[in-house]
């Protein structure tokens, strides 16, 4: 079993802080499970496991957002700790996925605590605004990020610091049949994620493209890689876009013909009766 170094814990906790800032600000993707698990896998020297865990959890988050302040599973922390546990225990990606989901669900309570703590800085900003202290409002806005960051950094730090003890305890307590169940559930989750993704895609309208991609990978996987399928999909999307543009140009040309004018090759020609 790999040992977790102090430098690894420090880097991961720092990454968690940056990811939370990204989540509540510009959202360039650092906060997503895919980035987090990949980063952890890179640090531990097992990038493949990180990509598998992260991609699976990423599928689980599609269509999930905190609209209206709703609390959602903390898959950022789940991805970090799930990937770490999967690699240092040597149990594989399915084990990490199965652990990451309950961790993410449990840490929803920390998200609620972070939101409640943030209200202190919101009231402070209100008082500063009443006094006309715009600098104070800026400080409150910056300090308000601390509860969000700590609500993720503290659980991740605790989970990683006691990670080896946790892993040994889990492996000692979990029976073999339950471990098989965890791995089976982890193997099923990618299919569930794809089902969620398909639920939000316009498959009824563009089912033909889906069938083409499925056949390419299911029946010709030894010939077509994922990159090849993606390039074919990009080419089909480009053709579809060009056909759409041509149809729109034809409709606009027909509309331009009303009123005694017709549009031919971008030139308007007047028609005399």
DSSP symbols for 200-245: HS-HHHHHHHHHHHHHHHHHSTTT--HHHHHHHHHHHHHHHHHHHH
Local confidence band at 183 (pLDDT 50, 70, 90 cut-offs): low
The phi-psi region of residue 262 (left if phi > 0; otherwise alpha if psi is between -120 and 50; otherwise beta) is: beta
Q: Quick check: 42 and 75 in contact, CB under 8 A? A: no
Q: pLDDT value at position 14? A: 92
Tell which wins on pLDDT, 15 or 247. 15
Give the span between the Cα atoms of 42 and 39, in whole angstroms: 5
Q: What is the pLDDT of residues 234-248, one digit of tens each?
A: 898 888 888 888 888
What angle separates helix 134-143 from helix 145-161, to the nearest 10 degrees? 20
Which residues face 267 on adjacent strands? 264
Please say if the pLDDT value at position 169 is more than 70.
no
Average of per-residue pLDDT across 1-25: 83
Q: Does 262 score more than 50 pLDDT?
A: no
Q: What is the pLDDT of residue 39?
A: 92
Element (H, E) at 19: helix 6-23
Chain segment 98-141, per-residue pLDDT in tens: 778 777 777 776 777 777 777 788 888 888 888 888 888 888 88
Q: DSSP assignment, residue 5?
A: P
Contact 24, 76 (CB under 8 A): no
Token pair of 199 as six digits = 């639920």
Cβ 99 vs Cβ 82: under 8 Å = yes
Whether the pLDDT of residue 177 is over 80: the answer is: no
pLDDT band, very low/low/confident/very high, at 62 (cuts 50, 70, 90): low
Residue 67 has pLDDT above 60, yes or no: no
What's the whole-number average pLDDT of the chain?
77
Dist. CA 46–CA 39, nearest whole Å: 10
Range 61-87 average pLDDT: 73
pTM as predicted: 0.60
- Position 3 scores a pLDDT of 65
Alpha-carbon dihedral angle through residues 248, 251, 257, 263, given to the nearest 10 degrees: 30
Please give the DSSP secondary-structure letter assigned to residue 24.
T
The number of residues making up the chain comes to 273
The answer to whether 79 and 54 are in contact (CB under 8 A) is yes
Q: Tell whether the model's pLDDT for residue 28 goes beyond 50.
A: yes
Domain locations along the chain: 6-201, 202-273
Instruction: Indicate whether 75 pLDDT > 70.
Output: yes
- pLDDT at position 270: 46
- Cβ(45)–Cβ(69) below 8 Å: no
Tens digit of each residue's pLDDT (9 = 90 or more) over 132-164: 888 888 888 888 888 888 888 888 888 888 765
Q: Are 256 and 263 in contact (CB under 8 A)?
A: yes
For residues 57-66, give the mean pLDDT.
69
Start-to-end C-alpha separation, the chain: 89
Identify the residue with better confidence: 201 or 84: 84
């Amino acid at each position: 079993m790999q040992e977790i170094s102090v430098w690894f814990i420090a880097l991961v906790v720092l990454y968690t802080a940056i990811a939370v800032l990204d989540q509540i600000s510009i959202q360039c993707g650092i906060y997503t499970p895919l980035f987090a698990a990949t980063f952890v896998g890179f640090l531990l020297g097992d990038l493949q496991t990180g990509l598998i865990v992260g991609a699976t959890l990423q599928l689980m988050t599609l269509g999930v957002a905190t609209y209206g302040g709703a609390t959602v599973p903390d898959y950022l922390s789940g991805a970090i700790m799930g990937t770490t546990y999967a690699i240092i225990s040597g149990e594989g990606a399915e084990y990490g996925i199965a652990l990451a989901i309950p961790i993410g669900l449990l840490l929803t309570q920390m998200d609620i605590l972070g939101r409640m703590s943030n209200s202190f800085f919101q009231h402070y900003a209100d008082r500063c605004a009443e006094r006309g202290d715009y600098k104070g409002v800026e400080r409150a806005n910056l300090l308000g990020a601390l509860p969000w960051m700590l609500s993720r950094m503290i659980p991740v730090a605790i989970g990683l610091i006691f990670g080896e003890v946790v892993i040994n305890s889990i492996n000692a307590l979990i029976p073999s049949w339950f471990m098989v169940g965890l791995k089976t559930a982890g193997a099923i989750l990618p299919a569930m994620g794809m089902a969620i993704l398909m639920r939000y895609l316009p498959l009824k309208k563009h089912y033909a493209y889906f069938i083409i991609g499925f056949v390419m990978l299911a029946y010709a996987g030894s010939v077509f890689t994922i990159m090849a399928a993606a390039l074919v999909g990009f080419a089909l999307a480009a053709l579809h876009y060009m056909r759409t543009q041509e149809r729109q140009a034809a409709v606009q040309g027909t509309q331009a013909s009303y009123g005694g004018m017709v549009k031919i090759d971008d030139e308007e020609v007047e028609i005399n009766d």
